[in-house]
């Protein structure tokens, strides 16, 4: 059976830390920033975590 390919879209958007946590960036931080509050823009800068079953599925998609 051939090797399975990684999911390129997921690979670009998700990273796995040394300890195995799955982290993602937030959507909506690239344009139309003038109307967004400073607090809202700061929240975009912090990486979000993915936990539970979804994290397991994401790791399988990127081959970790």
Say which residue the tokens 């400073």 belong to.
38
Q: Is domain 8-62 annotated with CATH 3.30.70?
A: no
pTM of structure: 0.78
Identify the band that residue 1 occupies on the pLDDT scale cut at 50, 70 and 90. Answer: confident
- Domain range list for the chain: 8-62
Token couple for 29: 């931080």
Burial track 37-56 (b if 16+ CB lie within 10 A, e otherwise): eeeeeeebeeeeebeeeebe
Asked if residues 59 and 50 have their Cβ atoms less than 8 Å apart, the reply is no
Residue 16: per-residue pLDDT: 95
pLDDT tens-digit readout, 4-56: 899 999 999 999 999 999 999 999 999 999 999 999 999 999 999 999 999 99
In angstroms, the CA 26 to CA 58 distance is 16
């Amino acid at each position: 059976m051939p090797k399975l390919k990684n999911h390129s879209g997921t690979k670009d958007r998700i990273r796995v830390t040394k300890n195995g946590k799955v982290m993602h960036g937030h959507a909506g931080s690239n344009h139309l920033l003038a109307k967004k509050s400073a607090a809202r823009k700061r929240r975009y800068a912090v990486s979000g975590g993915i936990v539970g079953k979804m994290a397991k599925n994401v790791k399988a998609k990127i081959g970790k």
